[in-house]
Structure 1
Amino acid sequence: MDQARLDQLYAQLKQAEPAEAKKIGNEIILELSRSGSSAMDLLLKRGRDALEAGETQAAIEHLTALTDHAPEFAEGWHLRAVAYRQAELFGQAVSDLERALTLRPRNFEAIYGLGVLLEELNRPEMAYEAYSRVFEIHPHYEDISDVLDRLSATLGGEDL
């Protein structure tokens, strides 16, 4: 993974118009998905494929093998958190997201996933903070403005 390239993409992302931001965001996601090892990339692909097929337990197994063999590869932790969330293993999901974000603090997909999880755990203030961080990194990510507006209204317009 090329850190200088990632830094450049993140800088461009903040300034980009919506259509260009989507393209840059996808480039960042692709860059974050590269472990540097074809064997680890294969485990990531198998985990992702299992998730998409709704095979949560198989995804957890593939992604656990990935995190065991490549503990510094943040995307393994991020995707395993997604699998844990699907399995309603929320504590493990939060733990894996924390690990992923320790390794890659600007991973807007992982931060967004944390926000979703915090909402599910009835922690709207913390979810709002997570979504606000996504907005700082990627102002045009999915429906982030709508999500922030919705939560702000739910929280009674409090300053957080």
Structure 2
Amino acid sequence: MSESSINSLLENLKNPDENVRKQATEELWRIWFYQKGISGMERLGRTQMLLERGETAQAEALLTQIIREQPDFAEAWNRRAVLYYILKQYQKSRDDCQQVIRLNPIHFGALHGLGLCYMALGDYQAAITAFRKALDIQPYSLINQKFILECTARLS
């Protein structure tokens, strides 16, 4: 997908029309999941099936293998960050979120996840920063607005 198409989707995330924002969000997620084509998407799908069956060690092993083979596959890093977060391994999750953002600075999901990790680790100022960066991309995200308020209250 061209840079102008991505920029158009990013602008649509700021559109007052909820349907326009929803379509843009779905399209960006589709692009990210299919970064490595159908085979990459299928491998991520296998990790999700493992997670759903509670086979977290196998899911982690497969995600780590994908990352080792394709270190620029941002969504593989993001999926592993989600896994680590679920396992309450917040520092590992934070580190993977940071890698996603290095590879894909507009990845609002990883920015949100980074904020969640910082919240879980008790670093509310860093969480606010991450949620604000996510809001720069998705200004209508109520969950990020809510978490900014929660973190601000905890700092008071």
Deviates more, 1:31-40 or 1:64-73: 31-40
Q: TM-score, with normalisation over the residues of structure 1?
A: 0.87
CA distance in 1, matches of 2:2, 2:55: 32
Runs of at least 5 residues in structure 2 that lack an aligned partner in the other structure: none
Q: Which amino acid aligns with 2:45?
A: K
Structure 1 52/113 Cα, relative in aligned 2: closer, same or farther at 3 Å?
Answer: farther
Deviates more, 1:29-38 or 1:115-124: 29-38
2:124–2:152 Cα contact (<8 Å) kept:
no
| 1:67 corresponds to 2:67 | yes
Q: Which amino acid aligns with 1:66?
A: I
Deviates more, 1:121-130 or 1:78-87: 78-87
Structure 1 55/4 Cα, relative in aligned 2: closer, same or farther at 3 Å?
Answer: farther
Q: Report 1 or 2 for greater relative contact order, CA contacts < 8 Å, sequence distance ≥ 6.
A: 1
CA distance in 1, matches of 2:142, 2:22: 9
Structure 1 stretches of 4+ with a deviation exceeding 6 A read: none
Identity %: 26
Q: CA deviation at 1:3?
A: 3.5
Q: CA deviation at 1:142?
A: 5.0
- Taking only aligned residues, the RMSD between alpha carbons, in angstroms, comes to 1.8
Q: TM-score, with normalisation over the residues of structure 2?
A: 0.89
2:12–2:20 Cα contact (<8 Å) kept:
no
Paired residues, what number?
Answer: 156
Runs of at least 5 residues in structure 1 that lack an aligned partner in the other structure: none
